[in-house]
Structure 1
Amino acid sequence: MSLTDDKKKKQSESERLSRRKFIKNSGYAVGGLAVGGVIGSVIPWDTEDKAAPQTNNKNNKTTNFTHALMNFSQAEFKMVDAATERIFPEDENGPGAKELGVAYYIDHQLAGSYGLNARDYMQPPFFNGEKVQGYQGRLRRKEIFRIALKEMQSYSQKKYKKGFISLTEEEQNAILTDFAEDKVKLMTVSPSGFFDLLRSMTLEGVYSDPLYSGNKDMDGWRMRNYPGNQMSYTDIIEEDFKDIPPKSLREHM
């Protein structure tokens, strides 16, 4: 082998080693970015116990990752949040609708088949039914909410010169009472019909399983000493009355 050939061989080996080292170091860099940077920051379960609920360290409360709007605008959500709190306010017995996340429950229900009356017969002709027959119109529930919230805001401005969420609790109570008693004259929706729907969905949000975004931390159940979704009572059925910590459907998944 000539001196020139030997020199070319060493240069080629050096280039291969340099490329190998570069690829290896690049792999470390990309891996560090993926795990500790972009992906690592987006997927929290890589750094948490998958069997344990996500909690807020400050007050040891469960973080509900379903609390995101699917139907309401921010303005509509704030109105529903305030209105449900007046229907189910916080008191000495426990939290109110706002803390329990009831407005999120309503938002998510209206975003799905319930809001579209998917299981109801919604074909004409439409007639005014008797009180016991319930709603007999063409509007879907999500449409009723959208229209009624605009009407409630308009009525609030007319009566108090302020938007609904800017009113005092007593003024908000008065607005809701006027709707419940059909004292508001509307051509679009039934005021009392909307209030009945809002009240019904508020109570659903307070006492439904937290899987559906309301009843945060199962505090609605705790106020009623309700055990939630227990898989079985066979281990305590023959014992004296026993308090059982509530369980959500999420804990059985």
Structure 2
Amino acid sequence: MGAYSKYEFKSKKSNWMKRRTTSYSSLDIKTLKAAIDTVFPGAVKANVNNYIEGLLKSSDEESLKTYEEGLRDLNRLSWSYYETLFANLTVKNRMVILETIEETNFFEQLRQHTMEGMFADPIYGGNKDKIGWKLIGFPGARFHPITHLSSGWKASKFVSLEDKERLRENER
């Protein structure tokens, strides 16, 4: 991706996002938000659900089916355990439900995508306001981040790919 300018990337992004129009019901979105916020508290505030929704628009049918079935299963299990939907459960009860599906492909993907959405560059839809980076002290896009971080350097400014592109445009 480093070879693309901001304009080229955005046009590429819009093309792959148009490949599939995934429409989720408000129930699916509530379930997804509750699940990711249970996997990583604060994930909804960081817009991880937007990252995952964008990812699923470009995913293969198998991944999409895994999410659709997984979200449905969360509600089925919630109803059988607590007679309410997953999004209505307390965090403690949501943890119980997630622990029962911990060995499934859906949970693996959900956990992986939640972590990606928390810590990826904000240009991909998650990590709003660089909240994930601030949480771990990662400075963002740098030419040599390992050199800076290994010498005890602390980030005073967090820089995304979009920030870097904006700086480049201002220098022209």
Same structural fold, with TM-score higher than 0.5 when normalized by the shorter chain = yes
The one-letter amino acid of 1:242's match is W
- Encode CA deviations 1:147-169: one digit per residue, 9 max, x unaligned: 11112211111111001111111
Report how far residue 227 of structure 1 moved: 1.0
- Distance in 1, Cα, partners of 2:62 & 2:79: 26
Report how far residue 232 of structure 1 moved: 5.8
**Structure 2 residue aligned with 1:82:** 34
Q: Which among 200, 204, 209 is matched to residue 112 of structure 2?
A: 200
State the superposition RMSD in angstroms. Answer: 1.9
**Structure 1 residue aligned with 2:46:** 100
- Highest Rg: 1 or 2? 1
Larger helix share, 1 or 2:
2
SS at match of 2:131: helix
Contact 2:75–2:86 at 8 Å: present in 1 too? yes
Q: Which among 73, 78, 94 is matched to residue 156 of structure 1?
A: 78
- Moved segments of 4+, more than 4 Å: none
Report how far residue 146 of structure 1 moved: 0.7
Alignment gaps of 5+ in structure 2: 1-20, 166-172
Report how far residue 73 of structure 1 moved: 2.7
**Structure 1 residue aligned with 2:164:** 252
- Distance in 2, Cα, partners of 1:241 & 1:151: 46
The 5-angstrom pairing of residues 22-171 of structure 1 reads: 71=22, 72-89=24-41, 96-112=42-58, 115-116=59-60, 140-171=62-93
- Distance in 2, Cα, partners of 1:241 & 1:172: 39
SS at match of 2:69: helix
The one-letter amino acid of 2:135's match is M
Q: TM-score, normalised by structure 1?
A: 0.52
SS at match of 2:116: helix
Report how far residue 246 of structure 1 moved: 1.5
The alignment of Structure 1 onto Structure 2 pairs a total of residues equal to: 140
In the alignment, structure 1 residue 242 sits paired with structure 2 residue 153: yes
**How many percent identity over aligned positions?**
29
Q: TM-score, normalised by structure 2?
A: 0.75
Contact 2:66–2:105 at 8 Å: present in 1 too? no
Q: Which among 223, 226, 247 is matched to residue 135 of structure 2?
A: 223
Contact 2:122–2:128 at 8 Å: present in 1 too? yes
